[in-house]
Amino acid sequence: MAKSKKKKKLKVEGHATHTQADTRTGLPGRIGRRIKIVFLGAGSGFTHHLLNDVLKIPGLEAVDFALVDIDKKRLGLMDKLMRRVARQSPDIECRIVSNPDRRAVLSGADYVVCCVEVSGTKCVRWDNDIPAKYGIDQCIGDTIGPGGLFKSLRTIPVWLDILQDVEELAPRAIVLNYTNPMNMMCLAAGRTSTLPVVGLCHSVQGTSHLLAQRAGVPIQEMEWECAGINHLAWFTKLEHRGKDLYPVLRRKALQDLAGKPSDPEDEWDLVRKDMMLHFGAFITESSGHLSEYVPYYRKRKDLLKKYMGPNYHGESGFYANEWPKWRKNSDPIRKEMLRGERPFTWDRSWEYASWIIEAREKDTPFRIHGNVMNRRYGAGPLISNLMHDGCVEVACMVDRSGIHPTAYGKLPPQMAALCEANMRVFDLGAQAAIERSVELAVESLLLDPLTAAVCSPAEIRAMTLEMFKAEKRYLSGYK
Longest Cα–Cα distance of the chain, Å, equals: 63
What counts of helices (H) and strands (E) characterise the chain? 16, 13
432 neighbors 95 (Cβ within 8 angstroms): no
Q: 3-state DSSP call for residue 243?
A: strand
Contact 63, 34 (CB under 8 A): yes
- H helical segments located in 134-269: 145-169, 182-192, 203-215, 246-257
Residue 94 in contact with residue 38, Cβ under 8 Å?
A: no
Is 293 known to be catalytic? yes
| 112/304 Cα distance (integer angstroms) | 40
Residue 222, amino acid: M
Query: Would you state the pLDDT for residue 9?
Result: 35
DSSP letter (8 states) at residue 2: P
Catalytic annotation, pick one of 293, 297, 319, 474: 293
Strand-pair category, 243-244 with 232-240: antiparallel
Which of these is catalytic: 49, 134, 202, 404?
202
pLDDT digits (tens, 9 = 90+) for 140-152: 999 999 999 999 9
Given this model, what pLDDT does residue 377 score?
A: 63
Which parts of the chain have pLDDT scores under 70?
1-24, 377-378
Q: What is the pLDDT of residue 378?
A: 64
Give the model confidence (pLDDT) of 249-263 as tens digits: 999 999 999 999 989
Residue type for position 420:
E
Which residues, including other chains, have CB under 8 Å from residue 430's CB and lie 6 or more apart?
152, 156, 183, 184, 187, 188, 191
- CA gap 106, 88 in Å, rounded: 26
User: Do residues 238 and 211 make contact, with C-beta atoms less than 8 angstroms apart?
Assistant: yes
- Determine the pLDDT at residue 6: 37
Let me know if 408 is a catalytic residue.
no
Q: Which of 166, 163, 160 is nearest to 36 (CA)?
A: 166
